[in-house]
Structure 1
Amino acid sequence: MPIPVLVTAPTVEPITLGEAKAHLRVDGSDDDTLISSLIAAARRHVEDLTGRALITQSWQLSWDDRFPDDFRLPKGRLQAVDGITYVDGSGATITLDQAAYVVDAESEPGRVTPAWGASWPATRCQPVAVTVDWTCGYGDAAGDVPAPIRAAMLLLIGTLYRDRETVNIGNVVNDLPTFGLLLSPYRLWSFG
């Protein structure tokens, strides 16, 4: 499968600085920059583990030679297909009419199929013959992300804040399964 490319990153994080500081029991602003970076790192890690976009973001995916047989869009909660372009036999880039395809945003991952009675148009056999742009994520606000995902992020932020090195010397450490248990129902296995 081709690799999706992030076009527009989320404008907010699923955890606010205030929520993270309350979880960490941190007062003052000395560590605000560090904590903000840990929030972003936790989001990216959770997105990688689950195969999902958490907050609204735009992505692009391209296929060589032709339309895919299994036209699925990774990153979870599909909000909209923003456009599909293809290169026709003469080499012109054509924007596919929205009436030519059906978007299934209920399935995860989202799917795109030709409209009833239609088929995908012929493309030129070349790299990047078909490109789709789409928007995905749970929503625009932190509160749109499911509570278990946000709870897992807070656990990860807490660990990253407390353990600022890659090794732990002289302590007995036991991983608690809570983090994985919170995220397990949200993992998109086919794209994780």
Structure 2
Amino acid sequence: MTLIRTSAPAVEPVTLMEAKAHLRIAHASEDTLIGALIRAAREDVERTTGLALIDQAWRLVLDGWPPGDAVAIARHPVRQILSVTTFGSEGEASILDPMHYQLDSLSRPARLRFDRKPDRLRVMNGIEVDFRAGFGEAGPDVPDLIKRAMLQLVAHWYEFRASFGAEDQPASYPRGYDRLIASYRARRL
């Protein structure tokens, strides 16, 4: 099972203006750096929590038919299944009719259940599920605790930007960061 992001978010959950206000910076000389820190903070929060903050497109690639005719989708929240493509033993592509699968987007991880199994799939990468995930299209759609965690990361990394080399980043995380994202982490039983 492989997850591939096929379309990155169009905007960041935290704007440059919000980050500069948090940092109490009025000049524009470090806007590029702050913008890069915002992007890095989003990527770190998404990696740590398994979330997609702003709408983005993903592809889940499976080798074989899922046991129990259902597959868990590890990126959250899943908003829409765009398509399900199966590849036959000769490599021929076939798009599954949406009537033959059902999405449970309320669960975490989301579950996609199929009601019919294709005849034969190719040995590797036989199924591709394209889906859209994210809280919404803009920053206000993202929960405030996550945005606060991002601002903490941006401020921390900005403060210690000269203390560590690029190969040592991220050198540390701010106190309280883990508490802010704790309720959004994917839990295992």
Q: Normalising to structure 1: TM-score of the pair?
A: 0.87
| 1:122 paired residue among 107, 116, 119 | 119
Is the partner of 1:19 in helix, strand or coil?
Answer: helix
What is the CA–CA distance in structure 1 between the aligned matches of 2:180 and 2:123, rounded to whole Å? 43
Alignment pair present for 1:81 and 2:81: yes
1:90, distance to aligned residue in structure 2 (A) = 5.0
In the alignment, what sits opposite 1:153?
A: 150
Q: CA RMSD in A?
A: 1.7
1:120, distance to aligned residue in structure 2 (A) = 2.2
What is the CA–CA distance in structure 1 between the aligned matches of 2:152 and 2:173, rounded to whole Å? 12
Residues 51 and 187, structure 1, Cα contact 8 Å, conserved in 2 = yes
Unpaired stretches in structure 2, ≥5 consecutive residues: 166-171
How many equivalent residue pairs? 179
1:109, distance to aligned residue in structure 2 (A) = 1.6
Is the partner of 1:62 in helix, strand or coil?
Answer: strand
Q: Normalising to structure 2: TM-score of the pair?
A: 0.89
Residues 76 and 188, structure 1, Cα contact 8 Å, conserved in 2 = no
In the alignment, what sits opposite 1:99?
A: 99
1:175, distance to aligned residue in structure 2 (A) = 7.0
Unpaired stretches in structure 1, ≥5 consecutive residues: 168-173
| 2:134 paired residue among 116, 122, 137 | 137
In the alignment, what sits opposite 1:170?
A: none
In the alignment, what sits opposite 2:180?
A: 182
1:31, distance to aligned residue in structure 2 (A) = 0.6
Is the partner of 1:42 in helix, strand or coil?
Answer: helix
In the alignment, what sits opposite 2:169?
A: none
**After the TM superposition, which residues 163-174 of structure 1 pair with which residues of structure 2 at under 5 Å, given as runs?**
163-164=160-161, 165-166=163-164
What is the CA–CA distance in structure 2 between the aligned matches of 1:42 and 1:176, rounded to whole Å? 12
In the alignment, what sits opposite 1:59?
A: 58
Amino acid at match of 1:145: V
Residues 89 and 122, structure 1, Cα contact 8 Å, conserved in 2 = no
Residues 153 and 174, structure 2, Cα contact 8 Å, conserved in 1 = no
1:89, distance to aligned residue in structure 2 (A) = 4.5
Amino acid at match of 1:44: E
